[in-house]
Structure 1
Amino acid sequence: MKAIDTSVILSTYNAEEWLKKVLWSYTVQTYRNFEIVIADDGSGEGTKALIEEFKSKTEIPIKHVWHPDRGFQKSEILNKAIVATESDYIVMSDGDCIVREDFIEKHVKYRTYGYFLSGGYFKLPMDLSQKIEKEDILTGHCFNLKWLKKNGLSSSFKNNKIDAHGFKSWILNLLTPTSATWNGHNSSGWKKDILEVNGFDERMQYGGQDRELGERLMNFGIRAKQIRYSAICLHLDHSRGYKNQVSIDKNLAIRKATRDQKSTTTASGIKKNSSS
């Protein structure tokens, strides 16, 4: 049996309708040698039942990493999921991001020692997020611009991200003014590098904890490669009741300290009391 060489971590919290759509998108991936590790920040029984049902309908290895609900503790559950992965390479996304059929293939194609990959996302409005059904995902219609416009998507330069391939995606990756950063909805890196910087800083709740991980990786000497027009995902709309300015301000201060001190690790990561 061939060893799994890619682990996909998906974060979720009480969002069964969106998670179901996202999981369908992984069943049609062109690259098949991967596992899914669901980082569940305290969801109820509905999410557990959905995952168990999905396990019975796919050959994809799936792990459900869960802890009790103690408010927004995404950094903590992501660290537990990192430890639970079996492969040397980790792709991170969210349980509200439908991925294009070549999503994992692109991450595998461009992975390089000494780098992490920085993907992007295309944010859908709520009405379109709700319109997308299982068949639209399995057939790839939800990544077809004509289909999306027919169902209400407005025209925009950003639409190029949805169906970019080949030279078009290469040139857009090259020309984009957006910096290559670790983005929780679409990034990947070598597990050994993530462990070296001690994973996510568990002091951080909502707002930028993914970017801070990337900043420590770069301080450690890992460079970022831009693939935001190559590995594509659609972000389903939702409310953010956990968003608050106190958390954002706290996280901005932690990120500033990481940059100023050129920290390569955190004392509040996978291993506690690690020096920085």
Structure 2
Amino acid sequence: MQSNLQATIIISTYNKPEWLKLVLLSFDIQTTKNFEIIIADDGSDEKTKAIIDYFARHSDLNVIHVWQEDDGFQKTKILNKAIMASNSDYLIFTDGDCIVRQDFVATHLELRRVKHALSGGYFKLTDDVSKNINEDVIKAQKCFEKDWLIVEGQPKTFKMNKLTTSDTKAKFLNFITPTKATFDGMNVSCWKADILAVNGFDERMKYGGEDREVGERMMNNGITFLQIRYSAICVHLHHDRPYKNEDAMTLNKEIRQLTKREKSAYTNYGIKKV
């Protein structure tokens, strides 16, 4: 265990071992190393375990694998277990399909504030470009370079500004963006005490806004979310979403509407059960 542990990275995953391998590499080459990694694994098979075990043996980082049996989409449940397994007082959440830039952790640590959470963004890669990402590309940080992406076939759009390396430009774009600062599980950070205060994620929720809801309770409990979508950079590997279904979306919407209507700052269906 690192004595100067400043953050816990919580990476959610489910049966995407080859992608997780690339994501873990992106954390192994961060400009700062004073963090641990917890893999919040919602029931992956042995292939994922093998990737994590190999990485843990070859990295200086402390890696914890938190696993539960596969019983459908239970991301909120495994994230709560990961929170409880964490050993630092600051948590950075991301997904096992998001490759982070070398300054990702340092940026979250630099911008953290008491009674605040940081809301980052992500740049979506096309399917073809995603398939061209490998270890050499990540080590050279080419997947964060506009010119390389365009050559590989990524359409040139305004959203490429999400890859800016200019601190001044990033601050300006964070300030003017119409996108609200929310709890987006692909790129968000907060103090552990602040998410424990609202009892973590609501475990009734399935796919679709399950991360936004915990953020809404945190806001109701006095936490301000700061926009850092142009500062903390990650690229999102393309994939389909077979677990998306209307019934789950409807249930999630009802829970979120109740949270907003009653200004709830706590759930009885989180880490601590009533």
**Short-chain TM bin:** over 0.9
Q: How far apart, CA to CA, are the structure 2 residues paired with 1:5 and 1:157?
A: 34
Shift of residue 23, structure 1, vs aligned partner: 0.6
Deviations 1:209-267 (A, max 9, x none): 11001000000000010000000110001111100011011101100000000100100
Q: How far apart, CA to CA, are the structure 1 residues paired with 2:227 and 2:193?
A: 20
Q: How far apart, CA to CA, are the structure 2 residues paired with 1:156 and 1:134?
A: 26
Shift of residue 105, structure 1, vs aligned partner: 0.6
Structure-1 residue corresponding to 2:201: 200
Deviations 1:54-103 (A, max 9, x none): 11111011000000000000000000000000000000000000000100
Structure 1 consecutive aligned stretches of length 4 or more whose deviation exceeds 4 Å: none
Shift of residue 2, structure 1, vs aligned partner: 2.6
Shift of residue 172, structure 1, vs aligned partner: 0.3
Corresponding position: 1:13 with 2:14: yes
Q: Name the SS of the counterpart of 1:153 in structure 2.
A: coil
Structure-2 residue corresponding to 1:261: 262
TM-score normalised by structure 1 residue count? 0.98
Structure-2 residue corresponding to 1:249: 250
Structure-1 residue corresponding to 2:166: 165
Q: How far apart, CA to CA, are the structure 2 residues paired with 1:126 and 1:272?
A: 41
Q: Name the SS of the counterpart of 1:257 in structure 2.
A: helix
Q: 2:124 is matched by which residue type in structure 1?
A: K
Shift of residue 117, structure 1, vs aligned partner: 0.4
Shift of residue 139, structure 1, vs aligned partner: 1.1
Shift of residue 5, structure 1, vs aligned partner: 1.4
The residue correspondences of 1:178-189 to structure 2 (distance < 5 A) are 178-189=179-190
Q: 2:76 is matched by which residue type in structure 1?
A: S
Structure-2 residue corresponding to 1:218: 219
Q: How far apart, CA to CA, are the structure 1 residues paired with 2:239 and 2:166?
A: 28
Deviations 1:4-55 (A, max 9, x none): 1100000000001111111110111112100000000000000001100111
Corresponding position: 1:88 with 2:75: no
Q: 1:177 is matched by which residue type in structure 2?
A: P
Once the two structures are aligned, what percentage of the paired residues are identical?
52
Aligned residues: 273
Q: 1:195 is matched by which residue type in structure 2?
A: L
Q: 1:183 is matched by which residue type in structure 2?
A: D
Q: 1:115 is matched by which residue type in structure 2?
A: H
TM-score normalised by structure 2 residue count? 0.98
Q: Name the SS of the counterpart of 1:224 in structure 2.
A: strand
The residue correspondences of 1:62-81 to structure 2 (distance < 5 A) are 62-81=63-82
Q: Name the SS of the counterpart of 1:194 in structure 2.
A: helix
Corresponding position: 1:49 with 2:28: no
